[in-house]
Structure formats: structure tokens, C-alpha cells
Amino acid sequence: MVRASHTRSRQKRSRPGHVTKTEALPLSLPEEESGEDLLPHKPLVVIVGRPNVGKSTLFNRIVGHRTAIVDDVSGVTRDRNMAECDYQNRMFTLVDTGGLDLNAEDVIVSQIKDQTKMAMVEADLVIAVMDGRVGLSPLDTELADLLRPITKPVFLAVNKIDTPKSEPLLADFYQLGVKKIFPISAEGGMGVDELLEALMPYLPQVPDESAKLETPRIAVVGRPNVGKSTLVNAILGEQRLIVSDIPGTTRDPIDSLVTRDGQSYIFTDTAGIRRRGRIDRGIEGYSVVRAMRALGRSDVAVLVLDGIEGVTEQDTKIAGLISKQGRGCVILVNKWDVREDDPAAHPAYNLELSRRFPFFAHVPVLFGAAVQSETLPRLFSKIDQVVAFFAKRIQTRKLNLFLQQLLEKNPISLHRGNPKKSMFITQVATKPPTFALFVKGAEKIPTAYLRYLENSIRAEYGFQGIPIKILLRGKGKK
């Protein structure tokens, strides 16, 4: 999830140290990614395009909040909307511009044109958005002609490509001489991650020292009435949150700053997430959406389960949401004080967890009760461990020595039975830990081998409670 704060600007932004390149990039990313930070701290990424192609929708999707006004009427965005963004520990300023019509004579539209041109001059990276459903228009061609001479990376995103059947619509846009097109659905989110990952080699990474100073955010999540607010109240040591046996008592995510043994945390108590069919429209629906957003901006989720009722289908879906969001996780089986005298309860519950949560085999599980004081020290110990793994970085040299050992122990054959020995791996991001694996014929690597690699990295370096992401990258020809 992208974290952002927003400002609006109508004035030209001074950018000392602005980077220029000796060679123009004609609407594409360079064929070879250097993997180095090419731009100064917090580069300016500007979204441009003709009116009504979905620029503001893409801006909102990247930022993660509906801050720009989105409407089907062209010309809604007039001045520049800016947001400070952090994507996978990479910092940048995102700018949404008004629809660009180079032939406009109307005063307001001309001002939009001037603002957009000014933003393009100031930009370090440019995302040109075009409408895949409408196809290549004369305005798109004029925009391409305007962008082609500029000496900075330009990425062409063709919007409204929301299904694989829509991909033939991309053909017209190759007339612009583009080497790489990013098909996206700004509304649905498809392809946006691939676009952002293409930007990453140009985005400076946040120094590890800064990451250590950040206060970890802990989201307490679960279905209704499992004891989330009771747990947060026990952590706070006071009745700051309303606790009730009525499902749906908590509506808005509530942030509380907690300091324990000199370490600060921000705990967020969220609304109980029920099955979609049981969610009432209106206030409760918005509450669940806010709970999802609170989860997205957290570092670690404490998934609270009911030790009496057992694991339900809805618990499985919430766990899946945590995994999909790429957050760290600690599972707390609550109300265990009622069952702790039953010797058969513990192994039976563990068996149920392994059956329901096979994708969470790496997640630490704690049996306890929010009302018992001895539960909290054990819970904080698990949280601290997962927070540390969430920001952990491994040296490239150590990773590749380890990878060679794996290849010798379990080689992989990609072509005619010949073992693949030439691979290179590096960690490109934290929160969550993300690795890029460079290998010729990357598309042929079996999913099972990637799982083996992920499990091996986890066994060697820890990462308990943390999802690991491995990006495949083909090796360029030398």
C-alpha cells in the first residue's frame, strides 16, 4: 500500500539538482535496468494525458486514497494534485495533471495546458495515460510528439484494459514507436503494480536508518466479537475503546500510540469483518472498507481468532486479505483461558489451523486470553520479531552464495534437460521483503521451484510471519 500526504499547487515548483539525460527515451523504459538509484531523493512522477482517459483514477489507485475528484465529465482536474508517496520503501512525489488539449483556445483549458506543460518540464519521470477502449486518437499522437524529445524516462500506460480479451486493443498504440506498453485498469488495479515496479529502478530507496525510526503500525483484525477491542484495551491499560458483546460496535479504525519498554507502536482497532452477504449497506459497509485500509497501511496484523468457536471460513478469508496485502502477521487464539485445562484442545486447534491456513505455515501462533496479563508479554515478543523481519535486508553477496548452494543441491532444468546454473538474486525492497531473480528463460521457471526458493530463504534467514515476494527478471543479452 502506498502511504501518502497531499497538497495542491498552482505555482511552479523549483527543483534544484533536476536530472537530465543525454539521450531521449522514446516513450519506453530502457531495455537494461541498472538496479541503481538514477534520480535524486524523492523524484517527481507526473501523470499526463488528454481529457477523460483516467489520469485521476490512476492517481487515486497509486496513492491508495480517493483524493482526486473522479468523474466521467472531462476537465474535472484543473490544477495539479500532488501526493508524497512511499511504494515498497521507495519515495516519490506523484502529480496528477489536467487533461491536455494542445489545440484548446478556451481560457480555462489553456491554463490547464500551461499547468500540464509546466509539470512535464519539472518532472523526473512521466506516465503518459491513453484510453485503450477509445483507441489511438489525434490528441494522443500530438501528446506523443510533445513527449518524444524530452530527456527523461516516459512510461506509456494504456488504461481500461481490464481483461485479457482487451489486450488486442493495444495494437494501435505501437504506431507511436513504443518499445514497452503497460496495459492497466486504473479502476480495477490490474497492471498498476507492474507499472510501479518498472519505475522502481529510478526511485531512491529510503535509508535503513529512516526505516528504523518509523513507529511500527499494528492492525488488530478479525471477525466480529472475537475480542479485538478487549485486547487493545488490555494493551492500553485503560478503557479508551468501547467494548461490547454486540457485533459492529467498532466502526472507525482507532489509532492508539503505545510505548512499552522504550519501544513505540501505533495500534489500530478495526471493525469486525463479516461475510460480504451479511454486511449492511451504509455505515457498516464503510466501516469494513476503512478496516481494510487500516490493514493496508499497517506493518503487522494481529489476527484474533475465537478459541471457543474455532476457525471459521470468514477467518480464512481475513487471513487471505492479510496475505494479499503483503503484511506481516501474528495469530492470537483468544479466550483460551476457557479451554486451557483440556489437553486435547491444543493439538486439535493446531490441526485446524494447518488445514484452514496452509499459506500461513510461517506465521507464529499464540494461545492466550486478552484478559490475562501474561498474554501481553508473549504477544509483544512475537510482534517485535515480525516487525524486525518486515524491514530486514540481506546482502546481495550472501544471497547469491546461498543461491549457488541451492542450485548445487537442487538444480533446475529449463531447456532440454540442461541444469540452469546461471542465476542472480538481489533484494530490491523491504516491507514486505521483495527479491528480484535474474535468469535467462525466467518465464519457464516452475511455480514449485519458486516455492522451494521462498521456503529455503525463510529457513535460512527467518522471515517468520512475513510474506516473501520473488520477482522474475529475464537476463538481457550481452
DSSP one-letter string for 234-295? HHHTS--S---SSTT---S-EEEEEEETTEEEEEEE------GGGPPTTHHHHHHHHHHHHH
Distance CA 293, CA 283 (A): 15
pLDDT over 70 (residue 49): yes
Its domain, for residue 458, covers 396-473
Q: What is the pLDDT of residue 201?
A: 86
Report pLDDT digits (tens) over 266-276. Answer: 888 776 565 54
Q: Are residues 181 and 246 in the same domain?
A: no
Any idea what DSSP says for residue 300? E
pLDDT in the model for residue 131: 93
- We report the CATH number of the domain holding residue 439 as 3.30.300.20
Q: Which of 63-72, 99-108, 135-144 has the highest mean pLDDT?
A: 135-144
Number of domains into which the chain is organized = 3
Output the pTM of the full model.
0.54
Residue 322 lies in a domain: yes
Give the lowest-confidence range in 33-42, 112-121, 138-147.
Answer: 33-42
Asked if residue 478 belongs to a domain, the reply is no
Count the Cβ atoms, other than its own, within 10 Å of residue 126. 22
> DSSP label at 360?
G
Which position has the higher pLDDT, 112 or 449?
Answer: 449
Identify the CATH number of the domain in which residue 181 sits: 3.40.50.300
**pLDDT exceeds cutoff 90 at 369:** yes
Asked if residue 114 has pLDDT above 80, the reply is no
- pLDDT grade for 212, boundaries at 50, 70 and 90: very low
Residue 89 lies inside a defined structural domain of this protein:
yes
pLDDT of 218: 92
Q: Which of 362, 390, 418 is the last residue of a domain?
A: 390
For residue 438, being part of any structural domain is answered with yes
pLDDT, the chain, mean: 76
180 contacts 29 by C-beta, under 8 angstroms: yes
Separation of alpha carbons 418 and 119, rounded Å: 51
Domain boundary among the residues 355, 390, 425 is at 390
Whether pLDDT at 355 is above 90: yes
Same domain, yes or no: 155 and 217: no
